[in-house]
C-alpha cells in the first residue's frame, strides 16, 4: 500500500471516528466526555448571557463572562465545522457538496448556525440575541425532536386539513369584519391588513383590544371567529396529543419485544 493510500485510509478512519462521537453512535468514555462538555457549555451559556445583561455587575466579572462566551462560541463553531466535515459518512448526505448543503438545511444544523452566528458577526441587539438559540441545541441530545417529527409525519393529513380550515377562517373573518366595520370606524379598520391582524388576534383569543367590533353584525362575526378558532385549535391539540400517545405506545411495545437472535 502506498503512503498516499495509507494516509487517505487513516484520514477516513479519523473522520468516521469523529462522526461516531458527534452522533453518539457508539457510547464510550470519549463519546460521553465530548458530549457532556458540549451540553455543559450550552447550559453554562445561559448564566453567562444573564451576567452580560446586568448593568452594574463588576467589570472583572463582565470581562470574564465575555471571554468565556468567546471560548464557548469557538467550541460551538468547531463542533459545527466538524459535523459539516464528517456528515458525508451518513448515506443521506454522502455527496461532498450537495450532501453538505442538504445537511446544513436540516433543522438542528440551522439552529446551530443561528447559535454560532454572533461569533462571526460583530454587533449587538438582534445579532447577539441569536445566542438564545444555543439552548435549543439541547434538542440534539433528546428524543423530543424525533418524537415531534414522527407525530407530524404520521398526522400530516389531519394537520393539513386543520391548517386549511384555519386559513379559510382567517380569510373569511378578515373579509367580513372589514366590510362590516370599515364604514363604522374607518380609522381603526383602514384596510384589509388591519382586518387580518384583528382576525389573527381574535381567533387565537389574544384580543389585545386595539381593534374591536362596534357594530352588532361585527360582534356576531367576532363571536363566530372566536368559537371556530377555539374548536380548530382544540382539534389540532387533540390530533397532536393522540399522535404523541401513539408514539409512546410504540416505544413501550418496542421495549417489551424481545430481541431477535
pLDDT tens digits, 40-75:
888 888 787 777 667 677 788 878 888 888 888 888
Q: Which of 88, 114, 116 is nearest to 103 (CA)?
A: 88
pLDDT, averaged across the chain: 82
pLDDT at 178: 93
Decide if pLDDT at 86 tops 90.
Answer: yes
Provide the pLDDT confidence category of residue 145 given band limits of 50, 70 and 90.
low
CB atoms within 10 A of CB 93: 19
State the Rg of the chain over Cα. 26
DSSP state of 2: -
Decide if pLDDT at 259 tops 50.
Answer: no
pLDDT in tens, 171-225: 999 999 999 999 999 998 999 999 999 999 888 877 777 888 899 999 999 999 9
Q: How far apart are CA 22 and CA 32, in angstroms?
A: 10
pLDDT at 107: 82
- Let me know: does 102 contact 92? Beta carbons within 8 Å: yes
Structure pTM? 0.57
Q: How far apart are CA 173 and CA 187, in angstroms?
A: 19
When comparing pLDDT for 12 and 56, which is higher? Answer: 12
Q: How far apart are CA 84 and CA 170, in angstroms?
A: 41
Helix axes 59-86, 3-23, angle to 10 degrees: 120
Question: In 182-215, which residue ranges form alpha helices assigned H by DSSP?
Answer: 192-203
Decide if pLDDT at 128 tops 80.
Answer: no
Retrieve residue 206's grid coordinates: 389574544
Amino acid at each position: 500500500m502506498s503512503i498516499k493510500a495509507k494516509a487517505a485510509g487513516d484520514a477516513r478512519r479519523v473522520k468516521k471516528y469523529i462522526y461516531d462521537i458527534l452522533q453518539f453512535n457508539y457510547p464510550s468514555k470519549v463519546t460521553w466526555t465530548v458530549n457532556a462538555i458540549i451540553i455543559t457549555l450550552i447550559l453554562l451559556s445561559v448564566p453567562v448571557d444573564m451576567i452580560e445583561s446586568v448593568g452594574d455587575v463588576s467589570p472583572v466579572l463582565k470581562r470574564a463572562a465575555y471571554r468565556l462566551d468567546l471560548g464557548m462560541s469557538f467550541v460551538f463553531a468547531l463542533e459545527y465545522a466538524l459535523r459539516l466535515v464528517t456528515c458525508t459518512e451518513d448515506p443521506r448526505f454522502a455527496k461532498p457538496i450537495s450532501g453538505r448543503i442538504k445537511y446544513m438545511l436540516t433543522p438542528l444544523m440551522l439552529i446551530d448556525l443561528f447559535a454560532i452566528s454572533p461569533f462571526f458577526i460583530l454587533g449587538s441587539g438582534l445579532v447577539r440575541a441569536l445566542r438564545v438559540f444555543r439552548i435549543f441545541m439541547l434538542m440534539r441530545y433528546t428524543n423530543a425532536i424525533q418524537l415531534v417529527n414522527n407525530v407530524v409525519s404520521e398526522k400530516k393529513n389531519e394537520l393539513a386539513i386543520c391548517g386549511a380550515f384555519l386559513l379559510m377562517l382567517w380569510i373569511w373573518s378578515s373579509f367580513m369584519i372589514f366590510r362590516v366595520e370599515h364604514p363604522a370606524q374607518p380609522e381603526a379598520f383602514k384596510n384589509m391588513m388591519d382586518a387580518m391582524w384583528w382576525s389573527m388576534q381574535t381567533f387565537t383569543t389574544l384580543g389585545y383590544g386595539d381593534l374591536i367590533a362596534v357594530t352588532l353584525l361585527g360582534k356576531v362575526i367576532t363571536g363566530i371567529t372566536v368559537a371556530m378558532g377555539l374548536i380548530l385549535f382544540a382539534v389540532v391539540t387533540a390530533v397532536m396529543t393522540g399522535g404523541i400517545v401513539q408514539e409512546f405506545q410504540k416505544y413501550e411495545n418496542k421495549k417489551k419485544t424481545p430481541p431477535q437472535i
